[in-house]
A = this chain, B = another copy of it.
Amino acid sequence: MATTSDVKTRAGARTRPGVLDKPKRATPDAVLDALATQATRLRVRRGQNVVLTLDGGEAAFIVRSGALMLHVTMPDTPRQVVATLFPGDVLRSSFAPPHAGATLTAASQAEIWRVRWTVLESLLAANPALARFVQDAMAAQMARHAVHLAAIGQFSGEQRVATILVELALRTGTPSSAGGLVLDMPLSRRDIADHLGLNADTLSRIMSRLRAAGILGHSERNRVVVRDFLALAGRSPAARCLAEIHSDEGRLLAQIG
């Protein structure tokens, strides 16, 4: 699969998909088998915290299923979600800044593999495919970070909300019978607010506004119905960028164009 990636991207019309063809991330399962004997499998439930170190030393975490959030709380300020981690993402203890109240929390039930960093480091030296996997995972995270930062720094509240909904739709949205998309939200309102750098009250107001505009439908707890994905994407300046980033999952993309 990884070896055919070039063919696919070169074959498609080269309408400047971005700076360059993005690295195709290798199939996780095959590559990660190399870790099977070295890693500890952690299973966590929603809300559970994961200690970021291993015997006080540095560890690496590879998300295998579910979703996690890394958040940071500076003194006298609300917490900020600085990264949302999905399967295939790699986290190293030292990604968490010091004196910043960093916490790794499961946003849903999740499985994580944990390895001592020094162990992973030597595996990387011996296993080029694994090294590439980790490098590409970090590159992808850096790119997502950049989008996140641009959204928080420059988008209005509504644009931010539209952005995260588009992202969730691209990741986990499933078409519903009524023609809309159903998003099972791994994150609570509070979590989303902390991710977007918004107040929870403000977030609630914005979602109500989107509902009043007919873009969102009435949603139960932990679930959002997107009635008009195109309109939603139209309100997120990052829609095209996210579509490109998530093109692996390849759905809904033609619509954003």
Contacts and interface: CB of A to CB of B under 8 A. Distances in A.
Contact of A19 (B53, B78, B121, B140): B53
A92 to B, nearest CB: 5
B95 A143 contact: yes
B100 A241 contact: yes
Given A74-B237, A82-B146, A94 B197 contact: no
A97 B154 CA distance: 16
Interface residues of A, number: 71
Contacts of A244: 97-99
B56 A20 contact: yes
A93 B142 CA distance: 10
Interface string A128-161: 1001100110111111111111111111000100
B74 A238 contact: yes
A72 B147 contact: yes
A128 to B, nearest CB: 5
Interface string A243-257: 111000000000000
B22 A98 contact: yes
Nearest to A95: B142
A96 interface: yes
Interface of A: 17-23, 52-53, 56-58, 70, 72-80, 82-83, 92-100, 102, 121, 124-125, 128, 131-132, 135-136, 138-155, 159, 194, 196-197, 237-238, 240-241, 243-245
